[in-house]
């Protein structure tokens, strides 16, 4: 692949990623007598499958093994089975058929699954060690700490973390170009040998870092935990006095210890001694460490575990269906507390009332066996026969796989109900069964739709078939179908988890069906969202696919009549045979290589060809200012006036926020194009602009839909309004709208990243519009997926919301005619008038422009679309102020209050009286009532003690206010300086800008609430506000630490590797590091906050801190809930967010110090020291006070500790920008330029040229 780019200057500014069509796995080629090893592998694989399947069946069938520990054992057996299946068949395929070649996509898929299951083996052993640790060290608390729920959560967290970790490793490989050798020196697509192939052509430093991080997280950390747990277990064993008890405890650990030794010792010894072991021996050793543990694990568990050897033959007596009619004895007791009642099981009525059903079960068994055999035969045939490796058969294989899974998810439970009369099903099993059955049924529908698309293209566009229906496009379609099906079914199942079941538990169906299940909760919960999903799901999963299939066959029928020869209608386009004769060196070979050409910039034509547009820009500026002011006024009014804190105004606030963001995402760039003639926009900026503009436009539509739902319920169901439209339901609707909008727009933008732009770069629109953008790539890439999204997006974001709004107003009109009193009818109409005007302003111009786009001239269409983008954000708040009575009253109050504050200061006598801290000691009157029900007690508010007991704190608040103002001004000055001065557009200043932004956000998240507590004595904070505050404060504190770490990495490379600095520290690498830091910080803090949501607070609600701090918060729940996971996170968080970054920074400065001694010239050494001085001061300011406070925690008085921690939170954001301005030469020069430019503008007007 030596001659991909003929002109080296041509690819300077273009990002070209070279992906080969295949790799060559060298495997065991150079090792003699390997045929015997393959026979051994085949033997090991069969034993692994049989033994692990036996263990999983045993655990599933025997109810005595349905304990938390055996969840982990089942998971280990499942992982072993998957890991050996992911690895061994390919090894046997290489030996039997000499297929050393593997395609690029198959290679990455294989790497993903093998690494995922190997990581999960390690995590499973760690979970089992935790189980043994608790069982021996805390035997009395075992059944409270190790429950089914906690074990499932641990397992789920392990899977999630493993998937994320492996995804990052695989994702980093997709950015590499492979331009030299394609031979992988391993027995599978191994991570290290794979990315090393790209070393001559790409920057593999991130991959190298992941190659060090992965074994640390997946091997060393679990092993350290296991060793530590066994040290604790050994200590606990010595405290056991009775020898037989000690021996029994040792026996329970023996099987786990053997598994640990089998898994970890060979891997770690191979890694440690890799420089001494010959290559062949290392390859064989590593392959054995991959295939032997899955075989030995189940054998050891059968031989070493007593309870597994003994299986009970007695059947458990079944309890009759239960009615839970008297769960809540006191109605007033649960007013402000969110209580979710989840039964331990449901009763599936099935076919009980139908006679002679035993013959039906025989028929079911017969059908199931035929389904398995026939679908397995189809999949095997497609896999083995290379002539069937065409795109169409990807969909056929997927359909066969889905059929196998769907019948397996349904029939075994039906047979179990018949054979063992087990009509009872647990809550978790019921939701799991519902998820998989609905998922596979949905996928069957989607697979048939994909096959109809394949036939449509094959018959209607036969010449373009091989360009439109490729392996990649078919895999993407299938992947998109799976993703969408999973999301859709997850939403349906997730909505059920919020329901309480307090009456009958009998499901009138043959499985855990969605409709019969959620209707059981109708007397106790709001099932309207579930009812809506019950209507939406068949529309999306059945009716829409069916409409597409019927439409496609109408097109096919029309195409058949155009075929003249009868035999032509039976032909199917076949892909040409491919020869893979040589790996490299043929320039014509680049036909099968995926080369993505990304231009450095696009040119937005905008309003160039339209005369007199300068007046339009003045109008735009005027509209933008009014939009900002009016939307900010609406948001402030809703925030300040408590009478507007109703669910409806959550949607109004969201609409105002979306309007403000949408106009901010669009108008400044338009003004920039006019004022400075900057029509050029970079590739990344273009996609970012497209994402945000489309996101906020979509959210405007969704917000109007949510408001129409609010009006629908208010007028059609007025008595049920306050039960159906609550703060929680409105927040969930809004959150779901944001999530769906982000996903939809992400898919559209993501599909653009796969395109190559090799012709015109002129976008015929006024911004980076989706349609004009992807059409530029039409000559070079397959734009069919983008074209499909261009049709789907307006359907989902415009037409469907508009249909819902029209339908809702039809229902409202019908309800208005049932109102007898004219004044009541008029009042109802008035509440809808403002919403109707907003709907008309938003939808009519957009839809008319789309419908009449062929008749409207191009210039008129561009201006019309720009007006539809910028006018609604200006008009929406004005209409709400003028047309809504309650908002007019609130606006008058707000203006009157502002006038009063301007005239006279606020007296302290006007403060609101605060209720005292509450103790919730008697929430549940009957302890037996909640034995099998998961009840989560969430208080309406907490009380932040803050600085109450500390004297003379009013001076501290004045100091806080002073610090906050300086922080905002100085950090804003730093960010403006970096943005304006192009000489600072270097990778290092990306991190500095990020640090300044984090400082602003962190001080804004913390200080205003502290000032609010002092000025208005508002120590009370609601549950949701508390968790939100905790999330953002911890997120920005974590990011401060990560930003300092990134800056230390920058200094490390600059001083230790100065010649490679510009290659290693680029804009792209710095943005990726920063993005990875944000992602990891968000995930880490989300886990901490998420673990708090599972706690019940039934005692004191007083938080002994100056904000909603993590430790003081979760310790309030210690008497009522298991806080061990929270305690573990409280230990893990400072390790990851403080100690590890600090260790890295110290290590980097040790390397820097060593490098400084190698510099001979004193002035060079001094210059290098100066570049580090500002960073060192920031590190000292941030880390030292926090670490000293943590170390000296028991010695420092509580008040001094609180003040010290608050200072460590508010001082660094103030000092960071000041130190950078004073200590960094290049920033001082930039600051002088910026101030000089500002002074010149203040003295003389700007001359327009």
402 vs 384: CA distance, rounded Å: 19
Give the least confident one: 48-52, 334-338, 746-750, 893-897: 334-338
**Band of pLDDT at residue 1138, cut at 50, 70 and 90:** confident
Read off the pTM: 0.38
List, as one string, the DSSP characters of 513-548.
-HHHHHHTTTTTS--HHHHHHHHHHHIIIIIHHHHH
Average pLDDT score over residue span 36-57: 80
Task: Give me the pLDDT at residue 1032, please.
Answer: 92
| Spatial CB neighbours of 822, under 8 Å, sequence gap ≥ 6 | none
Task: Give me the pLDDT at residue 1222, please.
Answer: 63
Backbone angles phi, psi at 345, to 5 degrees: -160, 165
1169 vs 1162: CA distance, rounded Å: 10
- How would you list the strands of the sheet with 183-184, edge to edge? 101-103, 22-25, 183-184
DSSP-derived 3-state class of residue 982:
helix
Average pLDDT score over residue span 1146-1165: 84
Task: Give me the pLDDT at residue 921, please.
Answer: 39
3-state SS of 304-320 is HCHHHHCCCCCCCCCCC
CATH 1.20.1070.10 at 17-309, yes or no: yes
Give the least confident one: 104-118, 770-784, 915-929: 915-929
Average pLDDT score over residue span 1052-1061: 88
**Band of pLDDT at residue 568, cut at 50, 70 and 90:** very low
Which of 782, 598, 583, 786 shows the shortest CA–CA distance to 175? 598
> Does the pLDDT at position 924 exceed 50?
no
Task: Give me the pLDDT at residue 1081, please.
Answer: 92
Give the right CATH number for 949-1089+1139-1243 from 3.30.420.40, 3.30.450.20, 1.10.10.10, 1.20.1070.10.
1.20.1070.10
**Band of pLDDT at residue 291, cut at 50, 70 and 90:** low
3-state SS of 59-114 is HHHCHHHCCHHHHHHHHHHHHHHHHHHHHHHHHHHHHHHCCCEEEHHHHHHHHHHH
Task: Give me the pLDDT at residue 358, please.
Answer: 63
Task: Give me the pLDDT at residue 450, please.
Answer: 92
DSSP-derived 3-state class of residue 474:
helix
**Band of pLDDT at residue 908, cut at 50, 70 and 90:** very low
Task: Give me the pLDDT at residue 313, please.
Answer: 37
Average pLDDT score over residue span 23-38: 73
> Does the pLDDT at position 1046 exceed 90?
yes
Q: What is the residue extent of each domain of the chain? A: 17-309, 338-566, 601-777+790-901, 949-1089+1139-1243
- Name the β-bridge partners of 426: 345
Average pLDDT, the chain: 79
Tell the residue number behind the tokens 């490729």, with chain if given: 470
> Does the pLDDT at position 831 exceed 80?
no
> Does the pLDDT at position 83 exceed 80?
yes
**Band of pLDDT at residue 215, cut at 50, 70 and 90:** confident
Average pLDDT score over residue span 64-81: 88
List, as one string, the DSSP characters of 577-606.
P-----SS--GGGGGGSEEEEE-SEEEE-T
Compute how many other C-beta atoms are within 10 angstroms of the C-beta atom of residue 980: 12
523-554 confidence digits (pLDDT tens): 888 888 888 888 888 888 888 888 888 888 88
Average pLDDT score over residue span 401-416: 85
Task: Give me the pLDDT at residue 371, please.
Answer: 81
Task: Give me the pLDDT at residue 251, please.
Answer: 78
1191-1233 confidence digits (pLDDT tens): 666 666 766 667 767 777 778 888 878 776 666 777 777 767 7
255-287 confidence digits (pLDDT tens): 778 878 777 777 767 666 666 666 666 666 666
> Does the pLDDT at position 914 exceed 60?
no
Higher pLDDT: 361 or 1132? It is 1132
> Does the pLDDT at position 311 exceed 60?
no
Task: Give me the pLDDT at residue 692, please.
Answer: 92
Average pLDDT score over residue span 1051-1062: 88
CATH superfamily entry for domain 601-777+790-901? Rhodopsin 7-helix transmembrane proteins (1.20.1070.10)
C-alpha torsion sign, points 820, 821, 824, 830: positive
What percent of the chain lies above the pLDDT cut of 90?
Answer: 7
Task: Give me the pLDDT at residue 280, please.
Answer: 65
Q: What is the largest CA-CA distance in the chain?
A: 98
Give the least confident one: 580-594, 639-653, 1058-1072, 1073-1087: 580-594
Same fold, 338-566 and 949-1089+1139-1243: yes
> Does the pLDDT at position 556 exceed 80?
yes
Which of 10, 38, 58, 603 shows the shortest CA–CA distance to 311? 58
> Does the pLDDT at position 975 exceed 80?
yes
Q: Which fold has domain 338-566?
A: Rhopdopsin 7-helix transmembrane proteins (1.20.1070)
Average pLDDT score over residue span 623-627: 83
> Does the pLDDT at position 945 exceed 70?
yes
Which of 891, 872, 873 shows the shortest CA–CA distance to 883? 891
Task: Give me the pLDDT at residue 758, please.
Answer: 83
> Does the pLDDT at position 668 exceed 70?
yes
Task: Give me the pLDDT at residue 906, please.
Answer: 33
> Does the pLDDT at position 331 exceed 50?
no
Higher pLDDT: 864 or 528? It is 528
Give the least confident one: 29-43, 78-92, 1062-1076: 29-43
Task: Give me the pLDDT at residue 158, please.
Answer: 92
Task: Give me the pLDDT at residue 1027, please.
Answer: 92
Average pLDDT score over residue span 451-456: 88
**Band of pLDDT at residue 576, cut at 50, 70 and 90:** very low
160-212 confidence digits (pLDDT tens): 899 988 988 998 888 888 888 889 888 888 888 888 898 888 888 888 888 88
586: left (phi over 0), alpha (psi -120 to 50) or beta: beta
734-757 confidence digits (pLDDT tens): 999 999 999 889 999 988 888 888
**Band of pLDDT at residue 383, cut at 50, 70 and 90:** confident
Average pLDDT score over residue span 700-727: 89
Task: Give me the pLDDT at residue 309, please.
Answer: 60
> Does the pLDDT at position 828 exceed 90?
no
Average pLDDT score over residue span 310-338: 40
- Cβ–Cβ < 8 Å for 981, 1230: yes
Determine whether 588 is exposed, middle or buried from the number of CB atoms within 10 Å of its CB (0-12, 13-18, 19+). Answer: exposed
Q: What element of type H or E holds 562?
A: none
Task: Give me the pLDDT at residue 1045, please.
Answer: 92
Task: Give me the pLDDT at residue 917, please.
Answer: 41
Task: Give me the pLDDT at residue 335, please.
Answer: 41
Question: Mean pLDDT: which of 421-425, 723-727, 1173-1177, 1233-1237 is highest?
Answer: 723-727
């Amino acid at each position: 692949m030596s001659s991909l780019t003929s002109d080296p200057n041509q690819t300077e500014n273009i990002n070209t990623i070279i992906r080969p069509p295949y790799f060559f796995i060298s495997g065991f080629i150079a090792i003699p007598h390997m045929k015997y090893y393959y026979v051994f592998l085949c033997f090991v694989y069969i034993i692994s499958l049989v033994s692990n399947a036996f263990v999983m069946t045993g655990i599933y069938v025997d109810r005595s093994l349905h304990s938390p520990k055996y969840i982990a054992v089942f998971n280990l057996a499942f992982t072993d089975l998957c890991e050996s299946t992911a690895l061994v068949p390919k090894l046997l395929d290489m030996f039997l058929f000499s297929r050393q070649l593997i395609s690029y996509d198959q290679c990455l898929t294989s790497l993903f699954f093998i690494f995922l299951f190997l990581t999960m083996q390690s995590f499973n052993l760690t979970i089992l060690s935790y189980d043994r640790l608790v069982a021996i060290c805390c035997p009395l608390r075992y059944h409270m700490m190790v429950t089914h729920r906690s074990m499932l959560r641990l397992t789920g967290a392990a899977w999630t973390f493993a998937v994320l970790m492996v995804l990052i490793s695989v994702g980093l490989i997709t950015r590499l170009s492979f331009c030299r050798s394609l031979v992988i020196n391993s027995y599978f697509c191994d991570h290290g040998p794979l990315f090393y192939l790209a070393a001559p052509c790409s920057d593999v430093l991130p991959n190298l870092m992941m190659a060090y991080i992965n074994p640390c997280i997946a091997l060393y950390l679990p092993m350290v935990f296991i060793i530590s747990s066994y040290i604790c277990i050994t200590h606990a064993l010595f405290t056991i006095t009775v020898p037989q008890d000690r021996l029994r405890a040792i026996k329970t650990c023996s099987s786990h210890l053997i598994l640990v030794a089998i898994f970890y010792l060979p891997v770690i010894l191979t890694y440690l001694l890799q420089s001494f072991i010959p290559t062949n021996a290392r390859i064989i050793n590593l392959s054995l460490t991959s295939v032997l543990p899955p075989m030995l694990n189940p054998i050891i568990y059968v031989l070493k575990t007593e309870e597994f050897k003994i299986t009970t033959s007695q059947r458990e007596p079944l309890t009759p269906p239960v009615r839970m009619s008297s769960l809540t004895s006191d109605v007033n007791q649960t007013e402000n507390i969110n209580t979710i009642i989840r039964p331990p099981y449901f009763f599936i009525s099935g076919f009980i009332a139908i006679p002679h059903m035993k013959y039906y079960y025989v028929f079911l068994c017969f059908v199931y066996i035929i389904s398995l055999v026939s679908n397995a035969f189809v999949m095997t045939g497609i896999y083995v026969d290379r002539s069937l490796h065409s795109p169409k058969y990807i969909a056929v294989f997927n359909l066969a796989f889905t059929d196998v899974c769907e019948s397996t998810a349904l029939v075994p439970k039906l047979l179990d109900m018949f054979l063992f009369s087990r009509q009872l099903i647990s809550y978790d099993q019921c939701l799991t069964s519902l998820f998989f059955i609905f998922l596979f049924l949905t996928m069957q529908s989607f697979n048939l739709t994909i096959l109809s698309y394949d036939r449509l293209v094959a018959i209607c566009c036969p010449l373009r078939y091989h360009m439109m229906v490729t392996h990649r496009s078919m895999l993407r379609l299938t992947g998109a179908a799976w993703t969408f099906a999973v999301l859709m079914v997850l939403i349906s199942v997730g909505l059920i988890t919020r329901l309480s079941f307090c009456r009958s538990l009998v499901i009138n169906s043959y499985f855990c069906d969605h409709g019969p299940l959620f209707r059981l909760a109708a007397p106790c919960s709001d099932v309207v969202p579930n009812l809506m999903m019950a209507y939406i799901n068949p529309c999306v999963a059945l009716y829409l696919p069916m409409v597409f299939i019927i439409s496609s066959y109408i097109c096919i029928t029309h195409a058949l009549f155009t075929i003249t020869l009868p035999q032509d209608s039976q032909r199917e386009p076949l892909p040409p045979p491919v020869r893979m004769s040589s790996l490299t060196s043929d320039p014509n070979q680049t036909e099968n290589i995926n080369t993505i050409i990304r231009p450095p910039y696009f040119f937005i034509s905008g309003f160039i060809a339209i005369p007199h547009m300068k007046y339009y820009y003045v109008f735009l500026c005027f509209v933008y200012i009014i939009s900002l002011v009016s939307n900010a006024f609406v948001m402030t009014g809703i925030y300040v006036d408590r009478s507007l804190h109703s669910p409806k105004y959550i949607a109004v606030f969201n609409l105002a926020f979306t309007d403000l963001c949408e106009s901010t995402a669009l108008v400044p760039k338009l003004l920039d194009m006019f004022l400075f003639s900057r029509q050029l926009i970079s590739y990344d900026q273009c996609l970012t602009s497209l994402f945000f503009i489309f996101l906020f436009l979509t959210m405007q539509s969704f917000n109007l839909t949510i408001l129409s739902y609010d009006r629908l319920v208010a007028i059609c169901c007025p008595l049920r309004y306050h039960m159906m439209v609550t703060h929680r339901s409105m927040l969930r609707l809004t959150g779901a709208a944001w999530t769906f909008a982000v996903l939809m727009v992400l898919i559209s933008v993501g599909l653009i990243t796969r395109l190559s732009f090799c012709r015109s770069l002129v976008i015929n629109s006024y911004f980076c519009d989706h349609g004009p953008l992807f059409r530029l790539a039409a000559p070079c890439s397959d734009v069919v997926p983008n074209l499909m999204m261009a049709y789907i997006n307006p359907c989902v974001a415009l037409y469907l919301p508009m249909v819902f709004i029209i339908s809702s107003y039809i229902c409202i009109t019908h309800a208005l005619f049932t109102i007898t009193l004219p004044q009541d009818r008029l009042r109802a109409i008035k509440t809808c008038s403002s919403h109707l005007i907003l709907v008309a302003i938003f939808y009519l111009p957009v839809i008319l422009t789309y419908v009449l786009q062929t008749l409207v001239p191009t210039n008129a269409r561009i201006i019309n679309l720009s007006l539809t983008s910028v006018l609604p954000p200006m008009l929406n708040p004005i209409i709400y102020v003028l047309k809504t009575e309650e908002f007019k009253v609130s606006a008058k109050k707000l203006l009157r209050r502002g006038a009063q504050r301007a005239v006279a200061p606020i007296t302290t006598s006007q403060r609101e009286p605060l209720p005292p801290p509450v103790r919730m000691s008697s929430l549940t009157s009957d302890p037996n009532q909640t034995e099998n029900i998961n009840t989560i007690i969430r208080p309406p508010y907490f009380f932040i003690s803050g600085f109450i007991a500390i004297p003379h704190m009013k001076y501290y608040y004045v100091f806080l206010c002073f610090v906050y103002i300086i922080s905002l001004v100085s950090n804003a000055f730093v960010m403006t300086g970096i943005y304006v001065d192009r000489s600072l557009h270097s990778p290092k200043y990306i991190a500095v800008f990020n640090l300044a932004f984090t400082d602003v956000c962190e001080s804004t998240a913390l200080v205003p609430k502290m000032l609010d507590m002092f000025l208005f004595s508002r120590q009370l904070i609601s549950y949701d506000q508390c968790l939100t505050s905790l999330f953002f404060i911890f997120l920005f504190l974590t990011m401060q630490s990560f930003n300092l770490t990134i800056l230390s990495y920058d200094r490390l490379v600059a001083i230790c590797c100065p010649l490679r600095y510009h290659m290693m520290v680029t804009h792209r690498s710095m943005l990726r590091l920063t993005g990875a830091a944000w992602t990891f910080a968000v995930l880490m803090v989300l886990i901490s906050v998420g673990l708090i949501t599972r706690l019940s607070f039934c005692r004191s609600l007083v938080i002994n801190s100056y904000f909603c701090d993590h430790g003081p918060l979760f310790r309030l729940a210690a008497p009522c809930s298991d806080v061990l996971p929270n305690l573990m996170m409280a230990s893990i968080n400072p390790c990851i967010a403080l100690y590890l970054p600090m260790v890295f920074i110290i290590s980097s400065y040790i390397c820097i110090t060593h490098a400084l001694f190698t510099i001979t010239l004193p002035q060079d050494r001094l210059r290098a020291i100066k570049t580090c001085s500002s960073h060192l001061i920031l590190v000292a300011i941030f880390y030292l006070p926090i670490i000293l406070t943590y170390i000296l925690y028991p010695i420092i008085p509580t008040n001094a500790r609180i003040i010290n921690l608050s200072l460590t939170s508010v001082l660094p954001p103030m000092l960071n920008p000041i130190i950078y301005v004073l200590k960094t030469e290049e920033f001082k020069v930039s600051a002088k330029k910026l101030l000089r430019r500002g002074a010149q503008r203040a003295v003389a007007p700007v001359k327009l040229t």
